[in-house]
Structure formats: C-alpha cells, structure tokens
Structure 1
Amino acid sequence: MKKTIGYFLLISALFIGLAGCAAVLPSSKTTVVSPWQNFKDIEMIYKKIVPGTTVQELKQWGFDPYTSPNIKILNYRDIAVYFMPNASIQMSDLPEAVQLAIKAKDRSRAYLIQPSDRKKKRTGSFWLDTAKFKRLTNETGWQFQGLIIIVDDNVVYKTPVSGEPIINTKDEQKNPLGPFQELGDWTIGIGKGFIK
C-alpha cells in the first residue's frame, strides 16, 4: 500500500514537472477602476473636450471625481506644481490658460485622470522560478493620463493625450546561485553586525 502511494506521488510529481507548471506561477492584476474599458475609449472622449466645455458636459462624459473613481482634484497650488516642478520653469513659460487658472486661485481646479489596466504574469519554468534561478515576468495592459483645468465651471485648458496605449514588457531576473544568492547578502549583514 505504501509503495502504491509512493509511486502515485512520484508519477504525479513527474507529470506536473513535465507539464511545465507555468499555471501555478503567481500573477497579479492592477486595475484603476474607471468607466473606460481601454485606452481608445478614454482617448476618444477626452478629445471632445475643448476650452468652454462645461463641468456638466464633463460629468456626462464620465469626468466627474464624485461619481467616477480615480480622478484626482487639484487646486491652483497643485496646478502650479504640476506645470512648474522646478525653478527652471517660470510662470511666463506656461500657456496663457494655465497662467489664468493659477492667477484665478480658488476659482480654479483641475482633474487629473489616470485610469489604467495592468496585468503581470510570471511565465517560464516553475522549478527555476521557485528555486530563484530564473524568473520571467510579462506585463501587459494600458495606461492613460490627462489633466483638465477648469475656471468658474468651464474648461480653459487640457493637456494633450498622454500615456501608453499598449504595455507589453518582459522582465528576466537571473540568479546563478539560485536560493544561495541571498545567503551571501545574509552573511554580509551578519558580518556588519559584528564589526559595529
């Protein structure tokens, strides 16, 4: 009976090993919830926004921070920092509509829109990944960014379409010593403790 169970476990382990085991590797998904399903959806609607568009129209198109998640409201100070992140950029360098919004102070605000859908999946050999010899990660998805500036309930400026319509990156990490690679870091840490 024990031999039968042992053979069964051995055959099961071999079968799993031969199958590649990629299905049991970890994966993750980061979705910034939004009313838009992909980059083209939001890009098409975002392009409709022009100076003079009302806040009510923005709401109808889904650009409402109180009903659509993940839209950040910026005040005039935040707008200034967004466009002038360092001293090399002066107020006079900014578009007139942005200058107007900063000077309007409390009458102005901006909506920072950053929806995205990113998926990470580990691929390759389960055994090499688990033993930390070689890890392959594939990231796919999309990411959009736009900024709409509003003064007195009317759009005065929007940034051009920005972002990544298609994300497809592959990351490969190799550790020739596998799990023993971290052992070297651990011994160095212990050695530093004795030196103090």
Structure 2
Amino acid sequence: MSHVVFPSSEPCTVRRLLIGLLGLGLALALSGCASLLPRGVAQTSKPWANFNQAHAAFERIQPFVTTTAELREQGLDPLVTPNITILNYADIVRRLLPPSGNDFALDPGIRACMQAQTACRGFEIEQRHIDRKRVGNFWLDFLDFRRETTTTGWRFNMLLLVVNDRVVYKLWGGQPDISEVEVTRNPLGPLQGFGQSVLGRY
C-alpha cells in the first residue's frame, strides 16, 4: 500500500515570517527617518516662558502706579534682563508723536512723557519662540521632490514709558499663536535645477 506524502508547510511558514519581519523592519526604518529631517528653534530666553505669562505680566503693570523697582521684581530690569531696548526721548518722539506735533488726542501717559522730555525713558521688550520643523517623507525631502516645513510659536512685544522711575504708559502687541505650513514641490527632484545650471554656462 502506497503512502501519499504531502509537502511540509514549514518552509512556507518561515518564508512568511521572514517577509513579515522584513516589512516591519522597513516600516520602522522609514518612520525613524523622519527624525533625521532638519529642525530649528529661534527663541529669546527671558523673561517669560509663553505668551500667557507675558500678557499676565503686562496686565499687572499700572500706569502712574507701578515703579521701576516693582518692574525689577517682575524680572524686567533693562540693565540685567536680556532683549530689553532702552529708548531715549528722541526715539520716543519719532515713534509716538504724530507728524503734526499736536498732542491733544494723545494718551495722558504719552503727554506726561512729552512734558518730561529727557526725563522720560522707554523700555521696549520683545520676546519670541519660533519652532521650524521639516515634516513628511524623509526620502522625498532628502531627494528634494517635496519639502514641507511647519512653523509654530508666538511673539510678544511690550512698550513702557517711564518718568521719574514710574511707569506712565504701556502698550502691547504680538501673535499668541503662530502656525504656518510651507510646501515646496520639485517634480524633477535633484535634477530640478540641473537644466538652469547647464544653460547658465552658455
């Protein structure tokens, strides 16, 4: 009596296992490549960690009440704190006084500064945190087919006028939430600029 021998399924199972492991390794490698994309951060270190802290500090300042000593307690000392610009009287006039020279409609704090003249100083505080990051497929980016850059962060600037060591005027501005996406596509990838470079020789 003859016996029928069926082929073993072990080689097929091993082959499938190897293919699965290879696919998993390739997926992990491609996902890990994203961490190789360039990233840059531009920020000022002090005095606030985020936009909300900066705005809260502004709200605590009261014109004709807050003194420069109290500003120093909040970390706003132009001689110590980085990124504070000291404005003299001429700088303030150029920025805040209207071309007509009529100060009738000006804020009382600005008028007090104009009357004090050289006894008035200005403190301009500017802080930002900008994070630029390239995202997307590493190989498309590396070969210059497609590059996607995201920019996030915030900006805050504050202007204070001080007369006789007391704040008389305050103003703020900025961007609480910066969110930008820039996408560059080159259909020819690394060869995109090749034609221009060749034609430029002639």
Q: Give per-residue Cα distances to partners, 1:127-159, cap 9 Å, x unaligned.
A: 111122211111122111110011221111111
CA distance in structure 2 between the partners assigned to 1:65 and 1:103 by the alignment: 23
Aligned partner of 1:178 in structure 2 is 189
In structure 2, the CA distance between the partners of 1:107 and 1:23, relative to structure 1 (3 Å rule), is same
State how far apart, in whole Å, the 1-side matches of 2:195 and 2:94 are.
Answer: 44
Aligned mate of 1:91, from 94, 98, 101: 101
Alignment of 1:168 with 2:179, yes or no, is yes
CA offset at residue 73 of structure 1? 0.9
* Aligned CA distance change for structure 1 residues 124 and 90 (closer, same or farther; 3 Å): farther
Tell me whether 1:63 sits opposite 2:76 in the alignment.
yes
Paired residue for 1:40?
A: 52
Rg larger in structure: 2
Task: Tell me the SS of whatever aligns to 1:78.
Answer: helix
Answer yes or no: is the 8 Å Cα contact 1:77–1:102 preserved in 2: no
1:103 Cα deviation from its structure 2 partner: 4.8
Instruction: Go from structure 1 to structure 2 and tell me whether the alpha carbon gap of 1:61 and 1:16 turns closer, same or farther (over 3 Å shift).
Output: same
Match of 2:61 among 49, 55, 60: 49
Contact 1:91 1:99 in 2 (8 A): no
Residues 48 and 72 of structure 1, relative CA distance in 2, 3 Å threshold: same
Sequence identity (%): 37
Alignment of 1:143 with 2:155, yes or no, is yes
The offset of 1:184, in angstroms, is: 4.2
1:76-155 residue pairs with structure 2 within 5 A? 76-83=89-96, 89-92=99-102, 94-155=106-167
Q: CA deviation at 1:110?
A: 0.8
AA matched with 1:169: E
Give 1:73's match in structure 2, choosing from 83, 86, 89. 86
Aligned equivalents of 1:176 and 1:165: distance in 2?
Answer: 36
Superposed CA RMSD in Å reads 2.6
Whether the 8 Å contact between 2:148 and 2:182 is mirrored in structure 1 is: yes
The answer to whether the 8 Å contact 1:76/1:109 transfers is yes
Gap change, CA 1:97 and 1:185, over 3 Å in 2:
farther
TM-score (norm 2): 0.76
In structure 2, the CA distance between the partners of 1:173 and 1:91, relative to structure 1 (3 Å rule), is farther
Structure 2, unaligned runs of 5 or more: 1-22
Gaps of 5+ in 1: 1-10, 192-196
Aligned counterpart, 1:4:
none
Q: Structure 2 CA distance, aligned partners of 1:73 and 1:189?
A: 49
For 1:189 and 1:78, the matched residues in 2 are separated by 48
Partner amino acid, structure 1, of 2:79: Y
Q: State the aligned residue count.
A: 177
TM-score normalised according to structure 1 size: 0.78
